Structure 1
Amino acid sequence: MKPVIVHVVQHLKPGGIESFALEFQRAAQPFFDVHIISLEKQNVKCYWNNIDGFKAFIHMLDKKPGWQANIFTQLKQFFIKVKPMYVHTHHIGPLIYGGIGARLANVPHIIHTEHDAWHLADFKPRLLQKLIVTLVRPIYVADANFVAEQVNRLMPSLNPVVITNGIDTNKFKPSTVNKQQLLKQAGLPTELKFIGCAARLESVKAHDVLINAMHNLPSNIGLLLAGTGSLKAQIAQQIIDLHLEKRVFFLGHVEDMTTFYPLIDVFCLSSNNEGLPLSPMEAQACGVPVVLTDVGGCKEAVCSKTGLVVQPNNPALLSQALLSSLNQKNTLSPRVFIENKRSIDKMISQYVSLTQADLRWKLC
């Protein structure tokens, strides 16, 4: 029998936390039975591919808005049944339900990872989290030094352990197929160099800044946008206004991101707010350099020898950095940084070691 780990998330719609849980599950499966419980119910296959082999390990509850006492009972019963070595919660709702459910089931260890502490700036959410942490007593983790600094400033008694997010370098790796061939297969212009951005089409991701930066770049440079969101029409209108229709392409929701990164020459996030973003680390594992804005933990996600970090909300600086990255003759690959500092195997080992001091799992 493999040891059991259970992740509790709010939902399994596309996002960083959800990617974290699913990638953890897939990478750890040879050594652990990793279950994921989503408090909210949805058709997960609408958003994620390659989960068929994990159907028995993905569980959907049916939480509605507001408090539901039966969720505590359902979680308690599930934990008693599978006997996890630890329960791992993500964000405040899963901490409340998963943490209390785990305590009621006498689970030996609870880990809570803070992926972004912005919500703690408000007094009421901070008070609620403080009460729940006191009740649940989880091992408290931040996924970036930046997040740990936020937590220490707002809730200094927590003193979180820092375990940075990791990338599966066996899954995300440089393509062996010629880029021109891949672009042709995707129906994209082969004469353009491409910047790529994978992010929700929402204001926090500041796509308008990236589109304005594109307007400053030469005509042989294009942009691929992966993701969906409420601002698609607004972004599309900006593209038309700047006469970029032949250089900017919406790809929508990309189920398999390993097909996206080989199409691009540089990856960019122009965000106004981030925790420790996964997508630029995935890109670097594929050998693609990145340009990010200096928000949240972005600096910790960038290979300092191949990537660039610029001031947010500054299209002129962003376009300069993108052009510099596209023209660089650097023989170094950002993949080395991911392999040495941001691998998922190292991340899993660090989490396991928090609860099993005498256990040394060899992940390979």
Structure 2
Amino acid sequence: MRILYFVDTLGLGGIQTILQNYFERIDRDKFEIEVLSLDIPDETGFELWLNEKSIPVHKIPGITLKKIRDFSRYPALIKQFFHEHGDFDILHMHASSKNAQLMFNAAKQNIPIRIIHSHNTHYQTSSQIQKVIGDILKFPMKKYATDLWACSTIAGEWLFGDDNFTIIPNAIDAGKFEYDEQLRNSVRESLNISDIDFVIGNIGRFVNQKNHFRMISVFNDLLKYIPNAKLVLAGTGDLEYKIKQQVIELGIERNVNFLGYRTDNHALYQAFDVYCMPSFYEGLPVALVEAQASGLPIVFSNTITEEINISKKQNIQLSLEKDNKEWVEALIEISNRQINRKINGELIQKSIFNIENAIGLLENKYQELIVRESFR
């Protein structure tokens, strides 16, 4: 069975991390996998990993879909790609409606199974024109897709409306994140964090979606009650400079660690005491699954699906409309708890968010779709 996966970028983000988890476990004797992407400069983390795993990678040359003219060049290049690379049994598209042309060409190429997989609940652009184009393109994209999938209910409803869709979980290698006291001590020492410091962590891109400005504002208020609190932020992004300036203006540089891009996220979770995510929107954030797999309690915004709340007794979900005081109180409450992180992490181990449990679901689904098409 030959499957073509499509992603917007070959940078290493949330969707790419999910695909890594599935690609590590999928039966490569049964499923021949290849990856197609737009041609985004300087975003190669996922591409390097795919090359290491001997998974073929293709790019649509010169196309980023960030310029209007790209949309006029896109159809011919997609047609050329399918002409050169032959037939696929499945197109599994992890992208938004701006890539509807790919779904159309896949239908013309007679690829029998064409899956569009939703991972978000908002457009990531601030351009109203691009949002309007995205809304318009939802209709032809759904028309030419044979199957609609989503990582969560709200992600499916955003892209597919009232149409029926299947939920496929954002699964992780849960064992990799299992709590390790020795690793925790080692990482905290490397970050100059003492045993008595209360550490709030967040791993994610510095973009508007993640709402770092609010997080830092809450943290600044928390320091009045827990002066030995530390905020550890891993990631890079367009807003990184402005966020660092906010920290400087508040005079809390000694309490905030900016780690930049990291590849050892599994180790960083060990060093945290709580994970905070006040995002404006998310599909189903992998970071919150990983954090809970490490046994961490999470404090997260009500804009994030309740489906992520696996360790319910340990977690706190708050409205972004609540003032800083309520967020501070939630963090103080967690700082006073005695938490057994081993037991918390076991909930993820047993759940469908563990790749060991989820991979069978995905493989069976692909096989069911192939059988379905054989009777048409």
Label 1:178 to 1:142 Cα distance change in 2 as closer, same or farther (>3 A): closer
* Alignment pair present for 1:4 and 2:9: no
Q: Is the 8 A contact 2:206 2:236 kept in 1?
A: yes
* Alignment pair present for 1:300 and 2:298: no
Alignment deviations for residues 235-290 of structure 1 (CA, whole Å, 9 cap, x no partner): 22222232211111100111232232122111111111111111111111122221
Alignment deviations for residues 82-129 of structure 1 (CA, whole Å, 9 cap, x no partner): x54422102236742442343233322111111124349965423322
Aligned to 2:353: 342
Aligned to 1:18: 16
Note the 1:59-78 alignment, pairs <5 A: 59-64=58-63, 65=67, 66-67=70-71, 68-77=74-83
Task: Note the C-alpha offset of 1:137.
Answer: 2.8
| DSSP-derived class of the 2:83 partner | helix
Task: Note the C-alpha offset of 1:224.
Answer: 0.5
Task: Note the C-alpha offset of 1:44.
Answer: 4.8
Alignment deviations for residues 184-221 of structure 1 (CA, whole Å, 9 cap, x no partner): 23454554221110121122211121112112220121
Task: Note the C-alpha offset of 1:131.
Answer: 1.7
* Alignment pair present for 1:200 and 2:199: no
Note the 1:127-146 alignment, pairs <5 A: 127-134=136-143, 136-146=144-154
* Structure 1 range deviating more: 97-106 or 313-322: 97-106
Label 1:183 to 1:284 Cα distance change in 2 as closer, same or farther (>3 A): same
Distance 1:128 1:359 in 2: 27
Distance 1:42 1:185 in 2: 33
Q: Is the 8 A contact 1:294 1:312 kept in 2?
A: yes
Aligned to 2:182: 177
Distance 2:11 2:107 in 1: 27
Question: Which of the residues 110, 117, 138 maps onto 2:114?
Answer: 110
Question: Which of the residues 364, 370, 376 maps onto 1:353?
Answer: 364
Aligned to 1:165: 170
| DSSP-derived class of the 1:356 partner | helix
Task: Note the C-alpha offset of 1:323.
Answer: 2.0
* Alignment pair present for 1:99 and 2:103: yes
Task: Note the C-alpha offset of 1:309.
Answer: 0.8
Label 1:33 to 1:286 Cα distance change in 2 as closer, same or farther (>3 A): farther
Letter in 1 for 2:329: Q
Q: Is the 8 A contact 1:271 1:293 kept in 2?
A: yes
Q: Is the 8 A contact 1:28 1:34 kept in 2?
A: no
Larger helix percent: 2
| DSSP-derived class of the 1:88 partner | strand
Task: Note the C-alpha offset of 1:63.
Answer: 3.6
Question: Structure 2: which 5+ residue stretches go unaligned?
Answer: 372-376
Label 1:240 to 1:124 Cα distance change in 2 as closer, same or farther (>3 A): closer
Label 1:93 to 1:38 Cα distance change in 2 as closer, same or farther (>3 A): farther
Label 1:309 to 1:353 Cα distance change in 2 as closer, same or farther (>3 A): same
Task: Note the C-alpha offset of 1:61.
Answer: 3.0
Letter in 1 for 2:200: I
| DSSP-derived class of the 1:170 partner | helix
Aligned to 1:324: 333
| DSSP-derived class of the 2:3 partner | strand
Label 1:208 to 1:257 Cα distance change in 2 as closer, same or farther (>3 A): same
Label 1:151 to 1:70 Cα distance change in 2 as closer, same or farther (>3 A): closer
* Structure 1 range deviating more: 244-253 or 59-68: 59-68
Label 1:348 to 1:283 Cα distance change in 2 as closer, same or farther (>3 A): same
Sequence identity of aligned pairs in percent? 23
Question: Structure 1: which 5+ residue stretches go unaligned?
Answer: none
Number of matched pairs: 351
TM-score (norm 1): 0.85
Q: Is the 8 A contact 2:37 2:59 kept in 1?
A: yes
Letter in 2 for 1:227: G
Note the 1:231-270 alignment, pairs <5 A: 231-270=239-278
Aligned to 2:374: none
Aligned to 1:273: 281
Letter in 2 for 1:244: I
Distance 1:327 1:230 in 2: 35
Distance 1:23 1:95 in 2: 24
